[in-house]
Chains A and B, each alone.
Chain A
Amino acid sequence: MKKIALNGAGLLVALFAAFPVYWMVATSLKPNKEIFAATPRPVPAEPTLEHYREILTGNLIPGVSFTDFFLNSALVAVATVVLSGLVALLAATAVARFRFKLRTTFLILLLVVQMIPLEALVIPLFLMIQRLGLYNTLPSLILTYLGFSLPFAVWMLRGFVAAVPKELEEAAAIDGASRAQTFRKVLFPLVAPGLVATSIFSFITAWNELIFALTFINDQHRYTLPVAMTFFFGRDDTAWGSVMAASTLFTLPVIVFFLLVQRRMVSGLVAGAVKG
């Protein structure tokens, strides 16, 4: 009896959590007459890829295609991931492997900057981007997202580095490996899964970001996907089939990445939360 109640609650939670995602995909596969039918169909009766074809072959905004925006977003996200992963790994190694004078100060700094409301920084960063002559360029976004993703990336990686047994490095050192060799051949391979999990966070941060992309980019050809979708969405809010197809294509890479590392990510997050 109790088991049934628990499982029932589980099903309800699953439904609440997954339904909107399902509804997005289902709508994107329905022909217009089903989308706007008086009675919504839970499953597409005549599934069609017409909305996907519309988006992928047509222009999302006059003169610019979905693929262009997709590539802009991908470029910005990948650059952010690579740069922040590199810098974060160095910093995480420093705090996880060494006891030095300013270590606690640095950790406090990391905590504090993570809490800065980034929405409050959009005005001064706009000023900085203007002065650097980066207005209307993708590097303006890469730079900004690097700053945003870094503190959490360090915080998260720190747990992963600390989880690698120090003895392994000591053994390598005794065998005559240099400090750099130890890092490269012992520590880094073992931290790689953590680096992947951390990268997912940086990727998602950059991939999903809207406000800064909205503010720093004025040229339609350089819009990232979120910005383009906001405009696409505002332009014609009855084209729900296309909106849902675009949303599905935008969401898909994120979900795939997320599921790939889901288990590692959970342990990474908890390493952050429990170990502080």
Chain B
Amino acid sequence: MTTLTEATGEAAARETPARRRRRVDRLPYLLLLPCLAIIAVLLLWPLGQVVMMSFYKLNSVRQLRGDREWPWVGLANYTQILGDPFFRTVLRNTVLFAVANVVLTMILGTLVGLLLNRLGRKMATFVASCVMLAWATPALTGTIVWKWIFDDTSGLATWLFNKLPDGLSTALFGRSDWTGYGWFNDPLLFFAILTLVVVWHSFPFIAVSVLAGLKSVPSELQEAARVDGAGPWRVFWSVTFPMLRPVFGILVVLSTIWDFKVFTQQFVLAGGTQDRSTFMLSIYSYAEAFSPPPKYGLGSAIAVILTLILLVVTGVYVRMVLRQEDES
């Protein structure tokens, strides 16, 4: 802001390009304007709106269109939800699922990242290309393929499990014939397959980011540690990990946020919103709001709870990024 006061008439008279540049103060705001408008209308306004809607009884589209009034119910939607044992089950499912998926994705992604860094050039390119394939595949089609693999009659998984020696299969799983077995009917198994699908989709991003992080830090330190007799485990925890800590922090937070709101994979694997035993917060909110009879108010309350949880995670993320910004 000092540039404005500095730029007096006298200074302007012997204006150089460098000086001219310092004076354009409104320009950045102009450049930001469209972006800010869009964010305000399409993200911030709905965010406020969903909180507001959660305090009303909204059970018809006509209310949304503004043709009918909105009865204020205060915290009734929240008391209804929080008092519902089913909601607590959904909440537990969501948290457990997110934690398991973040941990698995981070471990697998980091291992693959470290592996890619150690492989020879040709092999690394080959493996990285395959990993990219999993990343590039849309959640929708990726999930459809996994669903085909777990098809109960001609699926590859069904065939593979049928191939297991009968004795072993019976001892481990209590059955030897898997044909016609409903892979998605048991909630625990459903979540296991969902985890497989989600981890398959999300480990590539972690792997590639870790690899890029590894490439951006000098490898001399790791080599020096190795020369000093440190094992691979020690090198990772004492040298590599501290250097990559900022990247890891961001990756963990991003994964947490993504895994908390998995929707497409869940929707496709469960074949819609009928199977309540496999609900997690985002699909629960959606089903309450849009499955007839619509309950937009109740759905909003669930959405607000999901948002609040993610807000806490976001707070951690923002602090982390800002600290980095300060350091650099």
In the complex, besides A20-B142, A117-B307, A128-B46, 18 extra interface pairs with C-beta distance below 8 angstroms are A9-B115, A10-B127, A35-B154, A36-B154, A38-B159, A106-B32, A112-B318, A115-B314, A122-B286, A123-B50, A144-B42, A147-B41, A173-B20, A173-B21, A210-B139, A229-B144, A251-B141, A254-B138
Q: Which residues of A contact B90 (CB under 8 A)?
A: none
The distance in angstroms between the C-alpha atoms of A119 and B149, with both chains bound, is 28
CB pair B159 A94 closer than 8 Å:
no
CB pair A6 B119 closer than 8 Å:
yes
Interface size on B, residues (CB 8 A): 109
Q: Which residues of B contact A87 (CB under 8 A)?
A: 34-35, 38
CB pair B134 A115 closer than 8 Å:
no
CB pair B314 A119 closer than 8 Å:
no
The distance in angstroms between the C-alpha atoms of A162 and B234, with both chains bound, is 36
CB pair B145 A244 closer than 8 Å:
yes
The distance in angstroms between the C-alpha atoms of A210 and B139, with both chains bound, is 10
- B34 partner, pick from A90, A130, A269, beta carbons under 8 A: A90
Decide if A143 is an interface residue (CB 8 Å cutoff). yes
Interface centre among A10, A101, A248, by most chain B C-beta atoms within 10 angstroms, is A10
CB pair B140 A229 closer than 8 Å:
yes
Decide if B212 is an interface residue (CB 8 Å cutoff). yes
CB contact list, B210-225 vs A, under 8 A: 212-213, 216
- For the residues of B in contact with A, the DSSP-based class is helix
- A230 partner, pick from B129, B268, B286, beta carbons under 8 A: B268
CB pair B35 A150 closer than 8 Å:
yes
Decide if A43 is an interface residue (CB 8 Å cutoff). no
Q: Which residues of B contact A40 (CB under 8 A)?
A: 154, 156, 159
Decide if B59 is an interface residue (CB 8 Å cutoff). no
Question: Given the known A-B contacts A10-B119, A119-B261, A120-B304, are A204 and B138 also in contact in the complex, defined by CB atoms under 8 Å?
Answer: yes
The distance in angstroms between the C-alpha atoms of A215 and B283, with both chains bound, is 13
CB pair A115 B313 closer than 8 Å:
yes
Nearest opposing residue in chain B for A215, CB measure: B290
Decide if B325 is an interface residue (CB 8 Å cutoff). yes
Chain-A contact segment, one of B79-87, B185-193, B295-303: B295-303
Interface size on A, residues (CB 8 A): 105
B155 CB to closest chain A CB, in angstroms? 9
Q: Please, what's the 1-or-0 string for A114-142, where 1 marks a CB less than 8 Å from any CB in chain B?
A: 01111111111111101100000000000
CB pair B306 A147 closer than 8 Å:
no
Interface centre among B50, B137, B271, by most chain A C-beta atoms within 10 angstroms, is B137
Q: Which residues of A contact B36 (CB under 8 A)?
A: 91, 106
Nearest opposing residue in chain A for B199, CB measure: A16
Nearest opposing residue in chain A for B209, CB measure: A273
**8 nearest A-B residue pairs (beta carbon):** A147-B42, A124-B49, A120-B303, A91-B35, A258-B136, A124-B46, A94-B31, A14-B130
The distance in angstroms between the C-alpha atoms of A16 and B17, with both chains bound, is 57
CB pair B42 A146 closer than 8 Å:
yes
Nearest opposing residue in chain A for B162, CB measure: A38
Decide if B74 is an interface residue (CB 8 Å cutoff). no
The distance in angstroms between the C-alpha atoms of A230 and B144, with both chains bound, is 9
Q: Which residues of A contact B169 (CB under 8 A)?
A: none
**Which residues of A are interface residues toward B (Cβ below 8 A)?**
3, 6-7, 9-11, 13-18, 20-21, 23-24, 27, 35-40, 87-88, 90-91, 93-95, 97-98, 100-104, 106-109, 111-113, 115-128, 130-131, 143-144, 146-148, 150-151, 154, 170, 173-174, 176, 179, 204, 207-208, 210-211, 215, 226, 229-230, 233-234, 237, 240, 243-244, 247-248, 250-251, 254-255, 258-259, 262, 266-267, 269-270, 273-276
- A211 partner, pick from B20, B64, B134, B263, beta carbons under 8 A: B263
Interface centre among B112, B145, B216, by most chain A C-beta atoms within 10 angstroms, is B145
CB pair A170 B46 closer than 8 Å:
no
CB pair A255 B133 closer than 8 Å:
yes
CB pair B118 A6 closer than 8 Å:
yes
Query: Can you list 29 residue pairs at the A/B interface with Cβ under 8 Å?
Result: A10-B119, A17-B204, A20-B146, A20-B149, A36-B154, A39-B159, A88-B35, A91-B32, A94-B28, A100-B28, A109-B39, A115-B310, A115-B317, A116-B307, A117-B306, A119-B261, A120-B50, A120-B285, A121-B47, A124-B47, A124-B300, A127-B64, A147-B42, A173-B20, A208-B139, A208-B264, A243-B144, A250-B141, A273-B246
Q: Please, what's the 1-or-0 string for B36-76, where 1 marks a CB less than 8 Å from any CB in chain A?
A: 10110111111101100100000001001110000000000
Decide if B29 is an interface residue (CB 8 Å cutoff). yes
CB pair B289 A122 closer than 8 Å:
yes
Q: Which residues of A contact B115 (CB under 8 A)?
A: 6, 9-10, 13
Interface centre among B46, B61, B119, B120, by most chain A C-beta atoms within 10 angstroms, is B46
Q: Please, what's the 1-or-0 string for B192-213, where 1 marks a CB less than 8 Å from any CB in chain A?
A: 0000000010001100110011
CB pair B145 A276 closer than 8 Å:
no
Question: Given the known A-B contacts A40-B156, A119-B285, are A101 and B146 also in contact in the complex, defined by CB atoms under 8 Å?
Answer: no
- A27 partner, pick from B24, B120, B148, beta carbons under 8 A: B148
The distance in angstroms between the C-alpha atoms of A189 and B142, with both chains bound, is 35
Interface centre among A21, A204, A237, A258, by most chain B C-beta atoms within 10 angstroms, is A21
Q: Which residues of A contact B159 (CB under 8 A)?
A: 38-40
Q: Which residues of A contact B28 (CB under 8 A)?
A: 94-95, 97-98, 100, 103
